[in-house]
A and B are shown apart, each in its own frame.
Chain A
Amino acid sequence: MRESTIKEHNRFFLNMGPQHPSTHGVLLVVLEMNGEYVLDPQPVLGFVHRMHEKIGESRPCQGFMPNTARMDYVCALPYNHGYVSLIEKKAGIEVPKRAEYIRVITSELNRVASHLLWLGAYLLDLGAFTPILYGFDDREHILDILEDITGSRLTYCYYRFGGVCRDIDDKFVEATRAFIKRLRKRYVIYEKLVTKNIIFIKRAENIGIISPDMAIRYGITGPNLRGSGIAYDIRKNEPYSVYPEFDFEVPVGERGDCLDRYMVRVREMEQSLRIIEQALDNLPDGPVRSKVPKKIKLTPGDCNFAVEAARGELSYYLIGDGTGVPYRLKIRVPSYSNLSCLQELGRGILLPDLVSIMGSFDLVIPEIDR
C-alpha cells in the first residue's frame, strides 16, 4: 500500500521548454514522468511558425528567396540551393557550370559550419562546456569566408535563378584552402577532447537506438538515418547539381545510437572538405549567372526537388499554374520527420538520456515550425 502511494507521488508532468536551453530554440516537450524516468514525451510545436508556405504562394517566385534562408538558419545555403534548382527546373533555366561549382563549395562550407555548431551545442547539452568554444572558433572562419562573398553571416540569399549573385575571388579560394588545412589539424584536438572522452561515450553509447524499420516508419533522413547503417544521401542517391563529379564517401554507423550519429557527422565534415578541395581544384572559368527572363513563368503541373541539407532530405514540392506565382509550395523539412520519432524513442528512458537524444538529433526549431 505504502509503496503504491510513493509510486503515485512519483508520477508528474514536466514541461521541458519552450525556454529550456537544450531544446535549441523554442520547442516545448511535455514529459509525463515517473521519478526520473520519462513515460511519454510529447513535443509541442508551432512557437516560431511563420507560414512560409503561404508566403511562397502569395508572391512571385523570386520574392521567396530570402525566406528560404530563414527556416534552417544554421545551414541556409542548401535551402537556397533546393529552391533555385526547383525553379530552374520548372522554368527551364540553364545554370553555368562555374556557378554550380560555387554553389557546391559554399553549400559544403555551410554544412561544415552547421556540424561544428552542432558538435559544440550537443556537448554543451551533455554538460561539457569547452568544445563549443573550439567549435565556434572554427565556425567563425567559415562565417568570415562566406560573409566576404555573400554579404551575410547566417541568413544567406546568395544563389539566384540561373547562377549566383557574385563571383568568388582569389581571396575566397585562399581563405577556404587555409581553413581546410586548419580544420584537419583541429580534428586531433576534437578527438582527444571529445571522441575518446569516457564521460561522453557513456552518455552517448547505446542511447536512443533508431532501428532501420523505425527510420522507415517515421521518414528519418540525414545523419540521423546514416547512424543506423543506411547509406542514404540525396547527393549520391538522387544526384543533383554537380555532385556526381566529385569523389566522396557516405559515412554510416552500425548501431544507430547517439554515438553513431556523432561519429557520422564528424566523418561527414571530412567528406565535405574533400568535395570542397576537388571543386576548388577543378573550378571552371566562365560566367556565374545566365540570362534569365525578368518574368519567370512556372509551367502548369507539379514538380519535386530534393537536396541533402545538413539535417537530411529537404524537398520542395511546387505546383505551377502558368503564372510566376507558385500555386502551391510545400516544403518538406528533415528535422520535422526526425523529431517525430521522439515520442516512441523516449519512452521509459532516463531524463538525461532524453536530453542526449534530442541533442544528437541536431534540431533547428524554426525549420520544423516553418
Chain B
Amino acid sequence: MIETCEDFKNNVLNLGVDVTETDFNQRGYHLEVALTLNTVREFAQKAYEQGFYLVFVTGFHVLPEEKEGVKFSGLEVVYQFARYDRLCRVKARVSVSEDMTVPSICHIYQGANWHERETHDFYGIMFSGHPNLEPLLLCKEDRNYHPLLKEEEKLKSFETVSWPAKTLESSDAETTALSDP
C-alpha cells in the first residue's frame, strides 16, 4: 500500500521536513511528517496541490521540554490529510513554541478555519493569520479556559505517548542493531 504515497513523500522531502513511513495496519496512517513552524504552510500548500483533503486539525498536551536550546510549550498540533482517489493518509505534527503561535493554514484549506478555532478553544493555541479566532464550540465567557490542557500531575512526556523508537527507525538501522552482538 505504501507505494501509493511514494510520490508525495518525495515531493515533500524537498521542503526539508522529516518524513517517516509507518505501518498502516498498526497506526491507520501511512506517513508521519514532523514539521517545524516555518514549514507548516509550505507543507499544506504541497498537500493541497497534490490533491489531499484536510481530515482534521487538533492538538495534544505533553510535558514541556527543551530541544536544541529552544523551549517548547508542550503543546503539539496534529494535522491529518487523506486523498479521495487513492489510499494515502498522512499525519503531520508540529511542536508549539513558548509563544503559543502556529501559522494558520486556513487560506489554503478553508475547512481548517473551524478546526483551528476549535483547537484554540481547547488548548489556547494561537493561529497567526486566522481571520476570526473567536470561540467556536465553547462560549465567549470561557475564552480563557482551555478544557483539554492537562493538569500538571497528569502530564506525560512525549516519549511515553509515542510509538517505541525502534519501529520508527529505518529498516537498515534495525538490522544493524540486530546484528550487533
Give the residues in chain B near A304, CB-CB below 8 Å. Answer: 27-29, 80, 89, 91
A167 at the binding interface (Cβ < 8 Å): no
B173 at the binding interface (Cβ < 8 Å): no
Q: Which of A216, A225, A302, A306 contacts B27 (CB 8 A)?
A: A302
B15 at the binding interface (Cβ < 8 Å): no
Please report the C-alpha to C-alpha distance between residue A217 and residue B81 in the assembled complex, in whole angstroms. Answer: 11
Q: Which residues from 155 to 172 on chain B have a C-beta closer than 8 Å to any C-beta of chain A?
A: 156, 160-164
Please report the C-alpha to C-alpha distance between residue A237 and residue B28 in the assembled complex, in whole angstroms. Answer: 13
Q: Which residues from 102 to 116 on chain B have a C-beta closer than 8 Å to any C-beta of chain A?
A: 108-111, 113-114
- 0/1 string, B36-67, CB within 8 A of A gives 1: 00000000000010011111101011000000
Q: Which of A216, A225, A302 contacts B91 (CB 8 A)?
A: A302
Q: Which residues from 41 to 72 on chain A have a C-beta closer than 8 Å to any C-beta of chain B?
A: 45-46, 49, 51, 53-54, 57
Residues of B in contact with A, size category: 35 or more
Q: Is B136's CB under 8 angstroms from A54's CB?
A: no
B87 at the binding interface (Cβ < 8 Å): yes
Interface of A is mostly: mixed
Q: Which of A216, A237, A313, A317 contacts B52 (CB 8 A)?
A: A216
Please report the C-alpha to C-alpha distance between residue A302 and residue B164 in the assembled complex, in whole angstroms. Answer: 11
Q: How distant is B41 from chain A, measured CB to nearest CB, in Å?
A: 15
Give the residues in chain B near A138, CB-CB below 8 Å. Answer: none
- Find the A residue at minimum CB distance from B119: A330
Give the residues in chain A near B60, CB-CB below 8 Å. Answer: 319, 327-328
Q: Is A46's CB under 8 angstroms from B84's CB?
A: no
Q: Is B137's CB under 8 angstroms from A330's CB?
A: no
- Find the A residue at minimum CB distance from B148: A54
Q: Is A320's CB under 8 angstroms from B161's CB?
A: yes
- Find the A residue at minimum CB distance from B113: A340
Q: How distant is A360 from chain B, measured CB to nearest CB, in Å?
A: 18
Which of A219, A303, A321, A336 is packed against the most chain B CB atoms within 10 Å?
A: A219
Q: How distant is A172 from chain B, measured CB to nearest CB, in Å?
A: 32
A126 at the binding interface (Cβ < 8 Å): no
Q: Which of A218, A230, A306, A370 contacts B84 (CB 8 A)?
A: A230
Q: Is B87's CB under 8 angstroms from A237's CB?
A: yes
B interface residues with partner A (beta carbon < 8 Å): 26-29, 48, 51-56, 58, 60-61, 78, 80, 82, 84-87, 89, 91, 108-111, 113-114, 122, 135-139, 147-148, 156, 160-164
Q: Which 4 pairs between the two chains have the least Cβ-Cβ distance?
A: A301-B163, A304-B28, A218-B111, A232-B84
A interface residues with partner B (beta carbon < 8 Å): 45-46, 49, 51, 53-54, 57, 89, 215-221, 225, 230, 232, 237-238, 300-306, 313, 315, 317, 319-322, 327-328, 330, 332, 336-337, 340-341, 344, 369-370
